[in-house]
Chains A and B, each alone.
Chain A
């Protein structure tokens, strides 16, 4: 008995160390592994982005490299925090261009990480969606922009058309007793507070928290579960246990791609949105190339190719002209046939506000 146990334990130990060794090897060649044969001639543009997020697609790199006689080196981060740390720990002066989201542009601004951008150097800037360009969070004190919007996405309302007879156009559906115990709500304090604010007519950036709490408690009465990952939403939705909920656009796309039916709509009160921006860190070695890169990334040519590559799960492009080019099927798959008009951006929250919102959400969840 004992010997058997010992052997089993030893096997587990061996297996786990073997797996670790595999992982260790796999991570080494990523990132900065490539070396040029002729370092003096070709310039290197260092781009910091998430892995597999559009900019490292083969066509994106090839066209830019050919047009500008340079080499693109990607440095990957796996969280916004990791990008900040990358910049804090020696990335400034190394990285030419990077992709923070709206709230992290604001955080980087406080630490003076980003160069104010001269938008006259960007040919495509005038075609970008205006409300994304003019948000306060991405401007410095003098009104200069620190980021150029690249892609954006929404957390909105999705429902099963087989189980819901009426046309839904309002967040009020989540509070409708007709769908009691058939609703899944996103377990995230910022979107919870913002959706409750949109529903009850409060300012989503600065709502009256007492009112929000009452509204969220009513929602909790009506809801079946709080989901926190794609699976924890998709499983009960697929099984028919829930028929409606606040949900990421990507989740709706994926559900439809796997044969499930989901209508994804933008409620008339407004939609919660996130935006990713291209920024140039201070002392970027190749600032001129970085400008060209941003212009390429926001061009109709690139953005329409990326948006049509549905397998890459693209978000919504920022260039208005792209929508003239995209086919109806792609537009439908991305839920951009009609774009939402009112956007409530997930901006940077001060630690105190973040804390207060989290406390409200925890109180709602703990209430009986």
Chain B
């Protein structure tokens, strides 16, 4: 082996080591634990698919997973619809002075804890809160509220995750050369044409990372639905959480995690492919 090849291998070591210890090892442990029954693992413990069979027989995973994916879908879609004009405005319309201020305003919510964000929006929405007090002028019952419903969970999640979409889209948007847009306009493209044929394809990397940053955590969330989802609020995250925090059934909890991971990976794969295809065809 030549000296340079050894150097290459040595340089790869930190990265490969991190990948091994932070991704491959935990994932294989998760897989291994999903095959045990109960909590203890030893060298001679039996491995079986009993947890998966149990999950199938209980029949809770499917409906809850679909529900979580639906909520994640609507949250992500709304985030995209709101974040495009916002990030376009920040990147292309306002002066650089304002740009920094606006970006900081969007980052500020990250400084507080997620739980605080949830509680603050719950205070806004709760009965006799600002929103309901305002609506009561028009005859609504102020002791009722939009809280404790799936709509409230959707609102809270959108509020929490919108900044991720805005920031990722902004970083793609600010890289677009103003001249490209100007050229498209001068060649007679309308606003809609400019958006779909120029801006959307050029921001597709940002869009993709935005979707991944919003869709996956939202699908796995459970605090929001536990606090504000009411009696029908349960999501797949609550089911997984209860297996660890309430009954300490490590095996079944891990099996649920593996299934969740598989579904999410498949969905993400489809999203990624369709965005690539769409953006590529337009370019």
Contacts and interface: CB of A to CB of B under 8 A. Distances in A.
Contacts of B9: none
A67 interface: no
Given A4-B100, A239-B143, A365-B234, A358 B242 contact: yes
A223 B231 CA distance: 7
Contacts of B239: 362, 366
A187 interface: yes
A366 B226 contact: no
A362 B147 CA distance: 21
A358 B234 contact: no
A210 B99 CA distance: 60
Contact of A365 (B99, B122, B238): B238
B152 to A, nearest CB: 10
Contacts of B247: 351, 354-355, 358
Most chain B beta carbons < 10 A, residue from A187, A359, A365: A365
Contacts of A236: 126-127, 147-148
Interface stretch (A17-25, A225-233, A299-307): A225-233
B128 A225 contact: no
Contact of A240 (B122, B127, B234, B249): B127
Contacts of B58: 359, 363
A67 B70 CA distance: 67
B32 interface: no
Given A4-B104, A362-B239, A228 B111 contact: no
Most chain B beta carbons < 10 A, residue from A8, A189, A235, A358: A235
Given A239-B129, A240-B127, A359-B58, A228 B226 contact: yes
Contacts, number: 72
B63 interface: yes
A368 interface: yes
Interface string B97-110: 00110011001000
Most chain B beta carbons < 10 A, residue from A1, A228, A362: A362
A220 interface: yes
A225 B153 CA distance: 13
Contacts of A362: 60, 234, 239, 242
A241 interface: yes
A139 interface: no
A12 B108 CA distance: 12
Contacts of B63: 366, 368
A226 B144 CA distance: 16
Nearest to A229: B227
A219 to B, nearest CB: 9
Given A189-B246, A241-B144, A358-B242, A220 B127 contact: no
A109 interface: no
Nearest to B39: A351
A366 B231 contact: no
A224 interface: yes
Contacts of B238: 365
Interface in A335-361: 351, 354-355, 358-359
Given A241-B145, A241-B147, A366-B64, A355 B249 contact: yes
A150 B255 CA distance: 42
Contact of B60 (A224, A232, A366): A366
B232 interface: yes
A235 B249 contact: no
Contact of B128 (A226, A228, A240, A368): A240
B217 interface: no
Contacts of B107: 5, 8
B38 interface: yes
A314 to B, nearest CB: 28
Interface of A: 1, 4-5, 8, 12, 185, 187, 189, 220, 223-226, 228, 232, 235-236, 239-241, 351, 354-355, 358-359, 362-363, 365-366, 368
Interface of B: 38, 58, 60, 63-64, 99-100, 103-104, 107, 111, 122, 126-129, 143-145, 147-148, 226-227, 230-232, 234, 238-239, 242, 246-247, 249
16 contacts: A223-B231, A225-B230, A226-B226, A226-B231, A236-B126, A239-B145, A351-B247, A358-B242, A359-B58, A362-B234, A363-B60, A365-B238, A366-B60, A366-B234, A366-B239, A368-B63
